[in-house]
């Protein structure tokens, strides 16, 4: 019996079955999924730091500003047949650089990149 509530009976809520949304198997790639994946993953990010990360199973990709983590994850599954463990997205600001002209300065475009973490043993081949 409850002392401070009006409810005198104990009621148990029915538990909903847990459904996993991402499976270990890669999804079947339809032409629409392939086209979307090609828009989502612009290019692999080629830098010294990114190449060091590939040894640890972290791959870096350039992505558009409107893309979400879920979009990146699905694109990696479609293009490379690998299920990512997690995805981090980083926004890089535009930088002011000297243009060596009369105007003097210019602003580099802002960019966005995604860090894709894979499980041990999984790899991505770019070439």
Please indicate whether residue 113 or residue 2 has the higher confidence score (pLDDT).
113
| CATH superfamily, domain at 31-118 | RRM (RNA recognition motif) domain (3.30.70.330)
Structure-block tokens of residue 102: 């009369």
Query: 36: Cβ–Cβ under 8 A, 6 or more apart, which residues?
Result: 71, 74, 75, 78
Is 113:92 a contact under the CB 8 Å cutoff?
A: yes
| Per-residue pLDDT tens digits for 8-44 | 666 666 666 655 455 545 457 788 888 888 899 999 9
Beta strands in 1-126 (DSSP E): 43-44, 58-62, 84-92, 96-98, 105-107, 111-118
| Per-residue pLDDT tens digits for 60-99 | 999 999 999 999 999 999 999 999 999 999 999 999 999 8
């Amino acid at each position: 019996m409850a002392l401070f509530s009006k409810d005198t009976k104990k009621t148990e809520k029915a538990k909903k079955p847990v459904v996993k949304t991402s499976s270990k198997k890669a999804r079947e790639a339809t032409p629409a999924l392939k086209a979307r994946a090609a828009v989502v993953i612009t290019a692999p990010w080629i830098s010294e730091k990114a190449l060091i990360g590939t040894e640890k199973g972290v791959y870096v990709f350039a992505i558009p500003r409107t893309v979400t983590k879920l979009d990146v994850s699905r694109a990696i599954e479609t293009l490379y047949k690998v299920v990512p463990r997690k995805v981090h997205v980083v926004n890089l600001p535009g930088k002011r650089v000297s243009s060596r002209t009369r105007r003097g300065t210019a602003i580099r475009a802002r960019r966005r990149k995604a860090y894709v973490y894979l499980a041990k043993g999984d790899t991505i081949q770019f070439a």
